[in-house]
Amino acid sequence: MSDRVLVAKVGLDGHDRGVKVVARILRDGGFEVIYTGLFQTPDKVASAAIDEDVDAIGLSMLSGAHMTLAPLVVAKLRERGVDIPVVVGGIIPAVDAIKLAEAGVAGVLTPGASADEVVAIMRTVIDRSRADG
């Protein structure tokens, strides 16, 4: 059985080419991928992740709202009593990556990450979550 990953676009960011590429990379890397589509709320992403029983969540954030929306997804998961690792990809400054980690985000991918890096970080956060869980 393959690991299940939900990928989502949270907020008003309508750019979906990158998230579709990431979904294909993850699928080709052996993951089962669920894509929620554009304009999702943190609450909807958390609900979908729980309903789909995923092992991790990948958020594509190009709008600059990563410091608000990504921690909200983590908070919505924790409100529901689950700790599904969240990986955020997008245009994220290094200083923000540190703050996102402090807010509970399990990993950050920046532009230029290779397909191998995308697969590796998702496997790492899932393995870490299982070891901790």
Instruction: Give the residues of the chain that fall short of pLDDT 70.
Output: 1
Give me the residue label for tokens 């245009």. 91
What fold does the segment set 4-132 form as a domain? Answer: Rossmann fold (3.40.50)
Share of the chain above pLDDT 90, in %: 84
Edge-first strand listing for the sheet containing 86-90: 32-35, 4-9, 56-61, 86-90, 107-109
Look up residue 54 and give its two tokens.
């995923």
pTM over 0.75: yes
Q: Output the CA torsion 32→82→12→19 (10° steps).
A: -20
C-alpha distances in angstroms, 123 versus 16, 49, 58? 23, 17, 12
Q: Tell me, what's the pLDDT at 62? A: 83
Query: CB neighbours (10 Å) of residue 111?
Result: 10
Q: Tell me, what's the pLDDT at 1? A: 64
Tell me the domain boundaries of the chain: 4-132
Average pLDDT, the chain: 94
Q: Contacts from 24-29 at CB under 8 Å and sequence distance 24+?
A: 25/115, 25/118, 25/119, 26/58, 26/118, 26/119, 26/122, 28/115, 29/115, 29/118, 29/119, 29/122, 29/123
C-alpha distances in angstroms, 50 versus 74, 79, 114? 12, 12, 28
Q: Tell me, what's the pLDDT at 17? A: 86
Evaluate the CA torsion angle 33, 37, 39, 42 in order and state its sign: negative
